[in-house]
Amino acid sequence: MGYVNTPIGVLVEERLIRSVIFERLQIDYYCNRSISLKDACLLCGCDLEMVTHDLEELDRQNEISEESALANMSLVALIDHLTATHHAYIRRELPALDYLMDKVLRVHGEQHKELHNIRTIFEKFKFDLEVHIGKEEYIVFPLCVQIENADHVPLAPCVDFLDKHIDRLEAEHEKLADALRSIRAITNNYAVPCDVCSTYKVLLQGLSELEIDLHLHLFKENHILFPKALKMERILRQSQ
């Protein structure tokens, strides 16, 4: 297929497994959907021919993942997927990482001053993310369900605010991604110092996995769920 001029967001939407390559190259496919692969490689200084080759190899080795059917899911099914997959992951991992952060800071905080900065960033990130998923589950997701069921239930005036809620959520997505990007920079891409315990290694691995999961989470919402809900809402408005 023609990868070169295809927007990176479209490439990932077609096959989510491709996000593995973009994660390795630190290409922002989750918030910067519309940039072409060619331009993305120029921005990050990657060899376009090599990246294209890697994508071709990945596609040959992997069937289209089940998750790439997300674009054809109903809003309710998408929401169930996001809640069961990513929100559940967040609620499980954030407290565990918080505990590890405290433990590592007590043991290594004196020798590794950067941990104090990481701790400050993580605390705000944790609070902001927990508030964020609350907004999704108690405000935006119910509005999406209401829109999908509007052929049976009269569309209430409150869905006029769906686009405003989504604008806010997408702005928050950028800030959440930036927070973990800052931690990655401070830790030199989660590199493990030579003088630390195994708990430190587990913490860095957990933060790395959290960032990867967050990117997929944001991508699915920004580029699949939200556009689908807004399009459906727009059609309903026009039919009234």
Check whether 162 has a pLDDT greater than 90.
no
167 — pLDDT class (breaks 50, 70, 90):
very high
Same domain assignment for residues 15 and 92: no
Same domain assignment for residues 207 and 108: yes
Residues 157, 186: Cα–Cα separation, whole Å: 46
For the chain, how many structural domains are there in total? 2
Q: Last residue of a domain, which of 18, 36, 67? A: 67
Lowest-confidence region among 69-78, 196-205, 206-215: 69-78
DSSP structure string for the chain: ---TTSBHHHHHHH-GGGHHHHHHHT---SS-TTSBHHHHHHHHT--HHHHHHHHHHHHHHSPPPGGGGGGGS-HHHHHHHHIIIIIHHHHHHHHHHHHHHHHHHHHHTTT-THHHHHHHHHHHHHHHHHHHHHHIIIIIHHHHHHHHTTTTSPPPGGGGGHHHHHHHHHHHHHHHHHHHHHHHHHTTTTPPPTT--HHHHHHHHHHHHHHHHHHHHHHHIIIIIHHHHHHHHHHHHHH-
Check whether 35 has a pLDDT greater than 60.
yes
- Check residue 132 and give its pLDDT: 97
Domain that holds residue 38: 8-67
Regarding predicted confidence, which is higher, 216 or 233? 216
- Asked, for residue 2, whether it belongs to a domain, the answer is no
Same domain assignment for residues 48 and 150: no
- Asked, for residue 3, whether it belongs to a domain, the answer is no
Average pLDDT over residues 69-92: 92
User: Which residue type does 79 have?
Assistant: I
Check whether 206 has a pLDDT greater than 90.
yes
Tens-digit pLDDT profile for residues 168-188: 999 999 999 999 999 999 999
Same domain assignment for residues 18 and 131: no
159 — pLDDT class (breaks 50, 70, 90):
low
Regarding predicted confidence, which is higher, 156 or 19? 19
Tens-digit pLDDT profile for residues 81-98: 999 999 999 999 999 999
Residues 170, 78: Cα–Cα separation, whole Å: 17
232 — pLDDT class (breaks 50, 70, 90):
confident
Q: Last residue of a domain, which of 67, 88, 116? A: 67
